[in-house]
Structure 1
Amino acid sequence: MFDPIPDLSTARILVSNDDGLDAPGLAVLERVARSLSDDVWVVAPETEQSGAGHSLTLHDPIRYTARGERRFAVRGTPTDCVLLAVKRFMADRGPDLVLSGINRGGNIGEDVTYSGTVAVAMEGTLLGVRSIALSQQFADGDAIPWATGERLAGDVIRRACAAPWTRDVLINVNLPDRPPEQVKGVRLARQGKRVGSSRFSENLVERVDPRGRPYVWIGVEQVRAFNGADTDLHAVAEGYIAVTPLCIDLTDQGTMASMARVF
């Protein structure tokens, strides 16, 4: 189990994301982290890596640039960033807490399988550090309510860290598309699933370039129906902050039992 951290003021915190070092959500989370502790490190991708998932750079060198004290831009994936931070930049003393985000857009339901934001927390967990991913839901075309995370994320992080949790678990936090004064509260919620088509599969846009060669854009389709009132999808839609523990162990025990009869 990860032991509780009742007081984060002496904690060493690593902040990363998948939207890149200059993303506004990272700036919000960095301010939140600095309200919790003075020992904050920021190691993030040099450019946006949304949808990178839990990928590593294996066949190219990973270059990085110092962007100030305890602040680095990495030319690689979100996972690369955490690995370099823990094993290289913070080798003298690793982080007590990894914070990822705040992502521009939700990471709920099946989104977590694609998410570079969740991958940051996943890599932190695999390296033995308690880790929290944070994402901000918003409607296309509307202003992103960054003030919600600025005002409310710190309390969620404190409360989560005050509890013990299993060492192969990360915490996934999704903030609703509402200003902070309209957020109804916090709900523990299981990972949901959208009903019908997947988020991406039904929105492939095929075009032809000026040389006559076909290409495809993968669009983003928001499917509104989902599978249960106890899910992260429902909680966020109702105006709550969704807190979802996600397990690194993806083994399904029920299928293990049925397969044991044939293998």
Structure 2
Amino acid sequence: MRILLTNDDGYNAPGIQVLYQALKSQTKHDISIAAPEGQRSATGHSITLFAPLFVTEHALEGSGKGFSISGTPSDCVKLAVQGGLIPKPDLLISGINQGANLGTDIFYSGTVSAAMEGVLLGIPSLALSLANFEYKDFGPSAAYLVEHLDLLLKLRHKGLININFPGKPRTEWRGLKVTRLGKAIYENVFEQRQDPRGRIYFWQSGNLVQDCESDTDLTAIQNDFVSLTPMHSDLTDFACLQTWKELFN
């Protein structure tokens, strides 16, 4: 099977490199990488239309190919697959991201957007995130993915599976929960500052409001479970669809 790895933390980020080594050493799949040349977090599903995309090829073991690309995570997937850098993969894995991608944060996430780009191109995709910015050991998350990869493939899910791992040693994980997306609502703060030339600028930050609903990905991670959320690309509000058809037609 051909697997394409991507991310939004950059080609040399430890998350994607640890995942590559785990897959390469413990499976027989053909692994390639197409990832941004540097940090591209929170770029959402943006693509580059008014600038060139520069590509640097990197040597990888076996028949796989590695590319660092000057664009966004979605650019990397589109260019790799539609630009002919690699044969169309059977599976796309985005991550392992440093930091959680939970709830409505997925709309801003370059990690999840890269995986969703795979879905739009007809490729089953996984988005993987380590839900902690301070915890740096990606080994347990990579090992867990490798151990459960065959089971995930047997699901034959043609959309996106968003997986978040607790940011702590695996001995402290409490298991896995299949979840829905929670509501990641922030109390945003915009700190106003002034540069030496007198120009006003702002730094954005915020605190996440606690999600107390029991079946969400946010609650699962708060309780030290791996969260697994099936997603698809169709944002249609089906609850309104038939009613509105009758009203407007």
State yes or no: 1:208 paired with 2:194. Answer: yes
State the match for 2:88 in structure 1. Answer: 94
State the match for 2:160 in structure 1. Answer: 170
SS at match of 1:203: strand
Give distance in 1, aligned partners of 2:198 and 2:94. Answer: 41
SS at match of 2:208: coil
198, 201, 217: which one pairs with 2:203? 217
SS at match of 1:31: helix
SS at match of 1:102: strand
Structure 2 stretches of 5 or more lacking a match? none
Letter in structure 2 aligned against 1:148: P
Give distance in 2, aligned partners of 1:68 and 1:162. Answer: 31
45, 55, 58: which one pairs with 2:36? 45
Moved more, 25-34 or 182-191: 25-34
SS at match of 1:42: strand
What is the deviation of 1:257?
Answer: 3.1
Letter in structure 1 aligned against 2:111: T
Structure 1 stretches of 5 or more lacking a match? 1-10
Once the two structures are superposed, residues 147-189 of structure 1 have per-residue CA deviations (whole angstroms, 9 ceiling, x without a partner) of 3213312123332112122x3x210000012211221111110
What is the deviation of 1:145?
Answer: 3.5
What is the deviation of 1:31?
Answer: 1.8
Letter in structure 1 aligned against 2:89: P
Letter in structure 1 aligned against 2:197: R
How many residues were matched structurally?
243
State the match for 1:161 in structure 2. Answer: 153
TM-score, normalising length: structure 1: 0.87
Contact 2:135 2:168 (8 Å CA) reproduced = no
SS at match of 1:134: strand
Once the two structures are superposed, residues 120-142 of structure 1 have per-residue CA deviations (whole angstroms, 9 ceiling, x without a partner) of 1101011111100000011x5x4
State the match for 1:58 in structure 2. Answer: 49
TM-score, normalising length: structure 2: 0.92
Give the 3 Å change call, closer, same or farther, for CA 111–156 of structure 1 in structure 2.
farther
Contact 2:8 2:35 (8 Å CA) reproduced = yes
What is the deviation of 1:227?
Answer: 4.4
State the match for 1:4 in structure 2. Answer: none
Contact 2:116 2:125 (8 Å CA) reproduced = yes
1:1-263 equivalence runs, <5 A: 11-34=1-24, 35-69=26-60, 70-91=65-86, 93-138=87-132, 142-165=134-157, 167=158, 169-194=159-184, 198-199=185-186, 202-223=188-209, 225-263=210-248
Letter in structure 2 aligned against 1:183: W
Give distance in 2, aligned partners of 1:186 and 1:60. Answer: 42
What is the deviation of 1:68?
Answer: 1.7
What is the deviation of 1:96?
Answer: 0.6
Give distance in 2, aligned partners of 1:246 and 1:186. Answer: 17
